[in-house]
């Protein structure tokens, strides 16, 4: 009876169905309970179990040896010949007589070769992931040049890692891992130097440039930029979408005339406007907490002790912000509006160069993780500042040679700030938001610009 029962079970079709094995096991238990277990029946059960186990084992071995022809198989490893990818990259760009000239290297890597090699060298020395190692067979892994090139190309062109598989010989998942480790390394190694607040020397240079432009005491322009987030989680889309547009993440930045970005605050939802972002921004933390150097400048024979930024019309009328005039009346107002708007474009130029230099920031963000998106933005800003430092001598338009003679010719100077108490923070905050000082400073700047540029045709 039991043998007839087991003969009716299709073991081959139930080979990978563990639920059926569980049913068979329960069947043994039930049969054992309902059938009087005489010696002969016990031997019959043992024989049936042994026969079933043998049949299952035989079927399993047959299925492994003779795979089903219609069953898809996955190739676990693809031999990409990574050594060939490294040799090709080396011969194209890094030999003494490379295939492609420095101009093409600059266009494809977004930076000059010495700067790129400096980044690769420091990352290789201090980040274990980028150090080339041998596997158990004695074969070299991917080189640091391959990994860094893959990361730079993904930042520069905004494409997936699959795009560079045929040339650099590394897969999509490996490219994404290279990008993640590259962003972490850039922020860790270069973030403190190239994403810093202005030092006293930096402030003095910014003040000199502002004075040449007709705005003594000006240290840059501030504005916001939105980065579209394509793969924003559905539950967050209402928080990051304004109107009928796409989800975006906001970057607040302060840039100077040479396109250096001195302040970058990223991560707020796209539903916030510039004023909402300003309320959450740490742009004035150094001033409020007494860490920023003091600035003293004179405009129209009036002395001021707090630097300011040029902004567009949405920003509030604080002593630290100077906006244009929407409907200028008279030649003085028209000249002031023209000079203010042309100078404030520095931050717009910085955004444009950042997006054209790193297309990943210009294209919609494809990642799901907001933290990784933030690291990519910070990495692009750091690399942008490194490129500006390396190349600013080639496009600088402001001549500050008249200020190199000494402090006597300067009307704007940086002084050391004394330590402040907690109670002084409220007074500094009121001074930052002083509307009367804003109006007086704007009138003095208008008169200063008219005296300096009013006679020009």
CA 15 to chain centre: 50
CB-based contact 234:228 (threshold 8 Å): no
β-pairing verdict for 218-228 and 248-255:
antiparallel
Mean residue pLDDT across the chain: 84
What pLDDT, in 10s, does the model give residues 4-15? 544 454 544 544
- Whether the predicted model's global pTM rises above the 0.95 cut: no
Where do the H-state alpha helices sit in 72-112?
A: 82-89, 102-109
CA 63 to chain centre: 50
Q: Give the C-alpha separation, 274 to 343, whole Å.
A: 19
pLDDT given for residue 6 in this prediction: 46
pLDDT given for residue 160 in this prediction: 87
CB-based contact 178:150 (threshold 8 Å): yes
Q: How far apart are the first and last CA of the chain?
A: 114
CB-based contact 449:330 (threshold 8 Å): no
Place 16 in a pLDDT band, splitting at 50, 70 and 90: very low
What pLDDT, in 10s, does the model give residues 252-267? 999 999 999 999 999 9
**With 70 as the cut, is the pLDDT of residue 36 above it?**
no
Residue 81 φ then ψ, to 5°? 55, 65
Place 234 in a pLDDT band, splitting at 50, 70 and 90: very high
CA angle 187/269/160 to nearest 5° reads 55
| Cβ-based neighbours of 175, under 8 Å, separated by 6 or more | 150, 151, 154, 160, 161, 162, 164, 165, 168
Where do the H-state alpha helices sit in 35-70?
A: 39-65
Q: What is the dihedral of CA 108, 112, 113, 115, to 10 degrees?
A: -120
Which residue is associated with the tokens 């009036």?
302
**With 50 as the cut, is the pLDDT of residue 238 above it?**
yes
DSSP at 134: B
DSSP string, 178-228: HHHHHHHHHHHHHHHHHS-PPPHHHHHHHHHHHHHTT-TTEEEEEEEEEEE
pLDDT given for residue 425 in this prediction: 78
Query: Among the listed ranges 191-195, 340-344, 370-374, 409-413, which one has the minimum average pLDDT value?
Result: 409-413
Q: Which one, of 221, 222, 223, 217, lies nearest residue 203 by Cα?
A: 217
Place 18 in a pLDDT band, splitting at 50, 70 and 90: very low
pLDDT given for residue 46 in this prediction: 65
29 or 376, greater pLDDT: 376
Query: Among the listed ranges 15-29, 67-81, 293-307, 363-377, which one has the minimum average pLDDT value?
Result: 15-29
What pLDDT, in 10s, does the model give residues 105-119? 999 999 999 999 999
CB-based contact 277:252 (threshold 8 Å): yes
Residue 322 structure tokens: 């100077």
Point out which residues pair with 265 in neighbouring strands. 252
Q: Which one, of 1, 20, 2, 23, lies nearest residue 12 by Cα?
A: 20
């Amino acid at each position: 009876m039991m043998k007839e029962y087991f003969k009716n079970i299709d073991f081959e079709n139930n080979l990978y169905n563990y639920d059926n094995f569980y049913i068979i096991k329960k069947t043994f238990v039930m049969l054992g309970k309902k059938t009087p277990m005489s010696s002969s029946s016990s031997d019959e059960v043992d024989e049936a179990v042994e026969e079933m186990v043998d049949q299952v084992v035989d079927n399993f071995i047959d299925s492994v040896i003779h795979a089903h022809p219609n069953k898809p198989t996955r190739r676990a490893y693809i031999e990409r010949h990574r050594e060939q990818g490294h040799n090709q990259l080396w011969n194209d760009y890094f030999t003494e007589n490379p295939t492609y000239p420095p101009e093409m290297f600059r266009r494809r890597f977004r930076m000059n070769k010495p700067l790129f090699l400096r980044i690769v060298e420091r990352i290789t020395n201090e980040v274990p992931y980028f150090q080339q190692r041998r596997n158990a067979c004695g074969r070299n892994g991917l080189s640091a040049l391959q990994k860094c090139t893959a990361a730079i190309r993904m930042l520069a062109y905004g494409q997936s890692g699959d795009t560079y598989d045929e040339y650099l010989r590394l897969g999509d998942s490996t490219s994404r891992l290279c990008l993640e480790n590259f962003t972490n390394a850039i922020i860790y190694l270069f973030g403190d130097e190239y994403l810093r607040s202005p030092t006293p020397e930096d402030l003095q240079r910014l003040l000199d440039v502002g004075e040449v432009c007709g705005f003594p005491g000006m240290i840059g322009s501030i504005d916001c930029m939105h980065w579209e987030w394509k793969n924003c989680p559905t539950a967050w889309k209402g928080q990051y979408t304004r109107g009928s547009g796409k989800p975006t993440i906001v970057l607040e930045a302060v840039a100077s005339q040479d396109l250096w970005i001195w302040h970058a605050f990223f991560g707020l939802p796209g539903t916030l406007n510039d004023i909402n972002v300003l309320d959450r921004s740490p742009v004035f933390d150094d001033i409020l907490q007494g860490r920023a150097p003091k600035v003293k400048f004179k405009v129209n024979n009036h002395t001021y002790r707090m630097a300011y930024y040029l902004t567009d019309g949405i920003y509030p009328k604080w002593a630290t912000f100077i906006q244009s005039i929407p409907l200028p009346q008279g030649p003085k107002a028209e000249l002031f509006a023209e000079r203010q708007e042309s100078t404030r474009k520095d931050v717009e130029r910085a955004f444009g160069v950042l997006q054209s230099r790193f297309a990943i920031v210009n294209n919609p963000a494809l990642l799901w993780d907001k933290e990784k998106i933030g690291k990519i933005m910070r990495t692009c800003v750091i690399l942008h500042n490194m490129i500006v430092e390396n190349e600013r001598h080639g496009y600088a338009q402001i001549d500050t040679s008249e200020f190199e003679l000494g402090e006597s010719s300067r009307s704007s100077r940086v002084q050391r700030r004394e330590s402040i108490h907690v109670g002084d923070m409220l007074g500094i905050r009121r001074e930052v938001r002083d509307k009367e000082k804003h109006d007086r400073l704007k009138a003095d700047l208008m008169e200063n610009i008219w005296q300096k540029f009013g006679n020009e045709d």
